[in-house]
């Protein structure tokens, strides 16, 4: 029988992955995490990402730890509560989807970058669905910081649209905020259906509608 997520972390969890002199250096300042600690944190976030994307929010923490190949004490060392794990994962995923816009533009033409970015944004929303209950409760209680998600997503879309307008391949008469609303409408309306094929088709229709028709 597994312990509930709200249980206190094991007493030894705080000592896990610290160096032989404890969590701080000789000068009393906080030391940089060891390489193995950083790897474990990344493995936990990757396991949590997969678990939340595939669940309705009921992903047990002990299952996430097992999938990451670490003990539950190591999970609690990095993320003392479910809220801490969800906040860290949400922040990392939001950073990744926003940062992917300039990276995709550096590799692809704007219209192809837009299609690839929308797919990345869809994956972010799929992961967010599994975290939604915890996020809403944390935001309401003030235990999870409220990020400027829509503003950052809209800024990423604007970056791609502007590049497409300059290249003459994307429409100049559409605002980035309008694209954000269209994509959110797709993701919200297809949540209950859970049909990736339908979601992908609707995404493609939005992207195709944004392409500039040659004169």
Distance from the Cα of residue 37 to its chain's centroid: 21
* Model confidence band, residue 8 (pLDDT cutoffs 50, 70, 90): very low
Mean pLDDT over each residue of the chain, to the nearest integer: 83
The token pair at 1 is 């029988």
* Model confidence band, residue 18 (pLDDT cutoffs 50, 70, 90): very low
Min mean pLDDT across 6-15, 43-52, 60-69, 86-95 is at: 6-15
* Model confidence band, residue 54 (pLDDT cutoffs 50, 70, 90): confident
Looking at the structure, tell me whether residues 68 and 156 fall in a common domain: no
Asked if residue 7 is part of any domain, the answer here is: no
Last residue of a domain, one of 78, 95, 124: 78
Q: Is the pTM of this model over 0.75?
A: yes
CB 13 within 8 A of CB 73: yes
* Model confidence band, residue 4 (pLDDT cutoffs 50, 70, 90): very low
Q: What is the DSSP letter of 11?
A: T
Which of 100, 96, 118, 110 is CA-nearest to residue 202? 118
Looking at the structure, tell me whether residues 72 and 123 fall in a common domain: no
């Amino acid at each position: 029988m597994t312990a509930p997520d709200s249980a206190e972390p094991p007493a030894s969890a705080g000592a896990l992955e610290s160096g032989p002199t404890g969590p701080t250096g000789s000068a009393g300042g906080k030391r940089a995490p060891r390489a193995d600690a950083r790897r474990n944190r990344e493995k936990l976030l990757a396991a949590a990402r997969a678990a939340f994307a595939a669940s309705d929010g009921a992903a047990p923490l002990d299952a996430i730890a097992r999938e990451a190949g670490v003990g539950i004490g190591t999970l609690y060392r990095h993320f003392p509560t479910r809220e801490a794990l969800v906040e860290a994962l949400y922040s990392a995923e939001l950073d990744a989807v926003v940062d992917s816009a300039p990276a995709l533009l550096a590799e692809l033409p704007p219209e192809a970058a837009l299609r690839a970015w929308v797919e990345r944004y869809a994956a972010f929303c799929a992961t967010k669905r599994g975290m939604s209950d915890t996020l809403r409760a944390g935001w309401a209680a003030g235990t999870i910081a409220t990020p400027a998600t829509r503003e950052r997503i809209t800024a990423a879309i604007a970056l791609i649209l502007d590049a497409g307008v300059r290249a003459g391949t994307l429409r100049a008469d559409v605002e980035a905020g309008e694209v954000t609303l269209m994509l959110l409408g797709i993701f919200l309306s297809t949540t209950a259906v859970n049909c990736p094929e339908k979601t992908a088709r609707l995404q493609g229709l939005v992207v195709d509608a944004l392409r500039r028709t040659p004169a």
